[in-house]
Chain A
């Protein structure tokens, strides 16, 4: 299991260090049976801490692996802005679990004090130690749901002295219980829920316009403000479900078959009953209070690609490039895409650029080695064009310019996968509100993920 956890700043100074196991930092040579004769824990700890600093943070080369083995000690690290989080172990631990835990820890810290920065960490070091004590015991991850943690680890000192016995046992049963993500007795005057279908559409296209790979990775994020312990059931136009239901009425299958989508794979928040999904493909759950990510999914078939990029690059001699890029929007004319940005990479030896574009604004950004073309809004079934002349400095560099792909960013008000929410039913048998009394909001947002066209 995890033997220790360190947080470093970008200089490699330790901000937080929590050691769970004695073996950490023990030198390879000091593997003898006699623990006590080895250097003191302090000293050994230094060794482990220093080893990571020297070999990873201060390494000259780019990081070659997120897992590093130094003197039989394994270091897992993730980086958030300029903060390094490192988990250390000497055993054959579950590597996926360690990384999941490190991410989770970042989430928990962010939920408590916002951005993970050196300043915030120093400001909250007592809190972080307290959290680490709670969510990792002897290196075993424990309940790390922020909702539950916030009931008994608070920034304003512990109120435990004033808690009643019921409150205490409620906390412990929530932390350890089956429904660790929700507490009993939540009440709202207005029962309301918001569903956001957030999709990011990814594309890799060849210069000739052939789709090399395309997929949508989507998330359904739910904000729930519901009283009691509501039982929810979520339905969407999943092909498998619709075909199953459509068996009886033949024409409905043909009608709805067009609108249903094939989901390659999906994963769910831990509140969803997975065995029920596996057997009946129904998504039922008791939601946490507030915002959470209900599910993630991935589709690869019949994706609506909102934009098509047509590049044309011509090398005129050794000192000039001519670039022309056309973008075409490919969705209903009544809809508007926003925040459109096209990035056209330029060679390192660019000396000057002239740009002409029909719409929006375009600028050459020398520091980013790219022409950035921004358009605020664009309706469906339209097209726009940019042309640029790039002057190059003559170089004797033999190596050709690698021609990075042209990338695009945008936001559209529909789901490129074609996913539709069919229903979200709420049942709360104990309290007297029904499904009809709940106010429900649904919103679709499609964003560009890695949306690239090679040129």
Chain B
């Protein structure tokens, strides 16, 4: 056996030589030649020219040779579809072979040849093989259905293979069942709405029985499939859990993790008072710990999953801290993950041990790991109050090591500790100041500057320290510049006498010499604040800061719930929903945990997101270039917007204080009042005295975007509804509505930043939808969205996007991205935004069409309590592009015949019956006829909304 020689032949004219050998009469020589071809193929040489010669070797009774030829075929058939047909005959013949291994081989290989022409010939043999007497052939055929579906889904449906596949779930052989389940699950994924798997208590029972008998891989397929099922009540959930728990002792980690997934999901439905709930919790811990003795790669997968499980149900592993201690020889990826989990599990009970470990880790070699360990010490201090003191002293010890990155990391976390426990550990400031010179990372410098500014009154030489930073002001990163500006203003407010020069200097550096709008704006605001009302300035800049929260990097709850449904899969490794890394339609369906059935439980779902501020009457500001000007526009627009409370300032410091509360105090003052005793007013150009004239055009722009909607003619616009609550999107709240004006559709959005950090880089994308709605322009948010700021944006839409039928029809799935993350929500758009302007049908045409559409397409609806007469109804509908073609009066009833056309050219005809004379009878009767009857329901809803509002 020295097949390696095939890898080494690299002569010229090789192909020619191979050709000759392939056509040789000697079997051995032929086989040798095919091997050489495969070897060349593997190393990436193009041997497709040999296609006919290789296919000629297919007719052989030597199975090894046959398999080699098949391998070649699978690789090159696609590039030579016509030639591939030559092979079909042999396949069909092989599917009849008495040897089941050969039958299976043929059907398996045929499915791998992804040439459309071949698929037709595949159907008959496949049908036979699905019913073959030998289980080995059946299990191979089951997978082949999935292969075929991937090439030509329609064909599979038309040929009825899906039904045959469903039947195989009841097969007597466990492996056939497992493969059928795997194939069906994958096919179902690409048809989210179809009820392909049709899971019901009977089929679940079959699956659970097969679970005990099939191979480890089959068990994984079945468990993953079970996880998609939602039991009807807690009793069923419990009985499934009972039958799944034995899998926790399987040697295969993937079986264990998939079982954990099923249990974690179904546990949601069990009442916490149940004894069984407690038993289950106890049973989950040991297998999870056992996963940590697997090979490192699996440990990594397990740890990423445990990270999720610990966040969802911390009680499971709370006593297992020790197993997450880092071993010296662990690969770095395992170390980092363990560290994460250690912090999550840290509590008063185990903090001493944890700290001792973390200190040990901080002396290791890997820089990332050391940094994370130092950071972890800080997080422990914030999480477990009793340990704060020890943490601080540990951090001080670490600072003494003088290892540069350790010192910097320690200073960053000490800043957070100061914020959590103000006025407690300031004694360490002196030590920190000693290390000022060694800081070269922006984050550490900013943290240090913050500390100096915050505690300026206790640091004798605070002014010198800050001044030293000021020298290279323009070389600093923005983060440091902003921090320095704020710190010096703080210093000035605390020690006004000595530092006046310094503050002048920083203000002029920030406002005059900087290109950065954030910095300039903040500079101007401080400047004005200080020059108008130093007392207010003190209140603003030195306001008491809110405490920071304990857990900083928790996964947002809805995402966490979704990820729990994906335990064991890539999504749980990346901590991202599948749609973030999977292309196309697959995996876009969001999974969610089943609701708890027992009513005694309080719901854990986050429903408390407050609705956004009422929009409309008070146009919110869209900051344009120069935030300040934008903000100042508010001065002239009637009553000032109530500034957000001071208490919501952020880690970013200054920023919120300024834009929120700071402005408030500014607005009360007349511009003439500028010029406190010691201050020069900022350059006049920055604050134009007469906004009305110079900013005229800017103002009208603003009105166009926001308030214009209601007054201009156009179809009915629903009030904005909250689409994405802040809770689900890390503080970004999106509300919006759809409008249609003179032929153009737009999506009016209101974005509110309820988080504590600035949001930038907005972008939007729609999933494919029934009418091809897509953004016609990118989402333009001109300036970063500061905390508590709201912007209104009108996003023009078109209907030329790609089309996919959604359920319900008017469902629109939207992804919004910003600098923090990508968020998903779905919303229903009213159908009338799709009614086009030329939707009026000619009378004759109307009559003909009405007759032409079969009666079963007619749908009847009632619109209740609508006391309008025919004229009012007609004109109201017309403004939303529903046109009255004719009107008739029959026996005191007004009959309106109307037509409308959708953007994709579908006509809908309507007959509306009104009884104007009868006050007690205010219901309207609506009959709709359309060639695509599924839209009727939505057209009716559109009618109702238009008429009732």
Contacts and interface: CB of A to CB of B under 8 A. Distances in A.
A72 interface: yes
A98 to B, nearest CB: 8
B2 interface: yes
Contacts, number: 306
Nearest to A129: B71
B289 A69 contact: no
B582 A92 contact: yes
Contact of A66 (B75, B175, B290, B300): B300
B249 interface: yes
Contacts of B364: 402
Contact of B78 (A40, A155, A171, A295): A40
A454 interface: yes
A82 to B, nearest CB: 16
Contacts of B215: 142-145, 180, 270
B468 to A, nearest CB: 23
A172 B179 contact: no
A96 B212 contact: no
B679 to A, nearest CB: 47
B279 to A, nearest CB: 12
Contacts of A352: none
A176 B251 contact: no
B402 interface: yes
B586 interface: yes
Interface string A123-165: 1111001100100011011111100000010010110110101
Contacts of A400: 363, 401, 403
B75 A138 contact: no
Nearest to A200: B293
B306 interface: no
Nearest to B337: A65
A14 interface: yes
A184 interface: no
A176 B136 contact: yes
A268 B146 CA distance: 32
Nearest to A297: B290
Contact of B582 (A90, A125, A145): A90
Most chain B CB neighbours (cut-off 10 Å) among A23, A76, A126, A266: A126
Contact of B295 (A49, A99, A450): A99
Contacts of A264: 286, 289-290
Given A40-B78, A161-B63, A178-B213, A94 B568 contact: yes
Contacts of A66: 296-297, 300, 333
A398 B39 contact: no
Interface string A58-77: 00001111110100101011
A155 B147 contact: no
A100 B252 contact: yes
A95 B64 contact: no
Contacts of B297: 66, 76-78, 99, 102
Interface stretch (B217-225, B592-600, B778-786, B840-848): B217-225
A168 B220 contact: no
Nearest to B216: A270
A96 B64 contact: no
Of the listed residues A16, A62, A65, A398, the one surrounded by the most CB atoms of chain B closer than 10 A to its CB is A65
A452 B70 CA distance: 53
Most chain-A CB neighbours within 10 Å: which of B217, B287, B568?
B217
B45 to A, nearest CB: 10
Interface stretch (B422-430, B569-577, B605-613, B747-755): B569-577
B442 interface: no
User: Which of A41, A91, A295, A400: most chain B Cβ within 10 A?
Assistant: A91
Contacts of B71: 129, 133
Nearest to A30: B583
A277 B809 CA distance: 50
Interface string B100-123: 111010001001101000000000
B135 A95 contact: no
A213 B325 contact: yes
A213 B322 contact: yes
B331 interface: yes
A399 interface: yes
A278 B301 contact: no
Contacts of B402: 398
Nearest to B362: A402
A96 B298 contact: yes
B282 to A, nearest CB: 12
B79 interface: yes
B363 A78 contact: no
B174 interface: yes
A40 B42 contact: no
A286 to B, nearest CB: 13
B405 to A, nearest CB: 10
Contacts of A90: 582-583
A194 interface: no
Given A90-B583, A141-B217, A178-B213, A157 B64 contact: yes
A15 B251 contact: no
A65 B220 contact: no
B64 A130 contact: yes
Interface in A35-67: 40-42, 46, 49, 62-67
Given A125-B38, A264-B286, A13 B43 contact: yes
A275 interface: yes
Contacts of B329: 450
B587 A92 contact: yes
Q: Which of A46, A161, A293 has the most chain B CB within a 10 Å cutoff?
A: A161
B246 A277 contact: yes
Interface in B326-370: 327-329, 331-333, 353, 356-357, 360, 363-365
B258 interface: yes
Interface string A101-135: 11100000000000000010011111001100100
A160 B570 contact: no
A74 B7 CA distance: 28
Contacts of A41: 75, 78-79
A290 interface: no
A1 interface: yes
A305 to B, nearest CB: 15
Given A22-B114, A92-B570, A266 B249 contact: yes
A329 B213 CA distance: 47
B44 A14 contact: yes
B246 A275 contact: yes
A275 B174 CA distance: 16
A269 interface: yes
B251 A168 contact: no
A455 to B, nearest CB: 12
A176 B135 contact: yes
B250 A267 contact: yes
A204 interface: yes
B921 interface: no
B941 interface: no
Contacts of A354: none
A374 interface: no
Given A31-B583, A213-B322, A400-B363, A126 B35 contact: yes
B220 A95 contact: no
A95 B297 CA distance: 10
Interface in B1-52: 1-4, 6-7, 35, 38-39, 42-44, 46, 48
A246 interface: no
Contacts of B150: 21-22
Interface in B517-560: none
B581 interface: yes
Given A65-B300, A123-B4, A97 B100 contact: no
12 contacts: A69-B574, A78-B295, A91-B570, A94-B569, A97-B217, A99-B297, A138-B112, A138-B146, A172-B137, A178-B214, A264-B286, A273-B212
Given A67-B300, A94-B254, A123-B4, 7 more contacts: A65-B300, A95-B573, A97-B220, A137-B108, A142-B215, A175-B136, A264-B290
Q: Which 9 A-B pairs have the closest CB atoms?
A: A265-B286, A122-B4, A172-B136, A96-B254, A278-B246, A92-B578, A97-B254, A274-B246, A158-B63
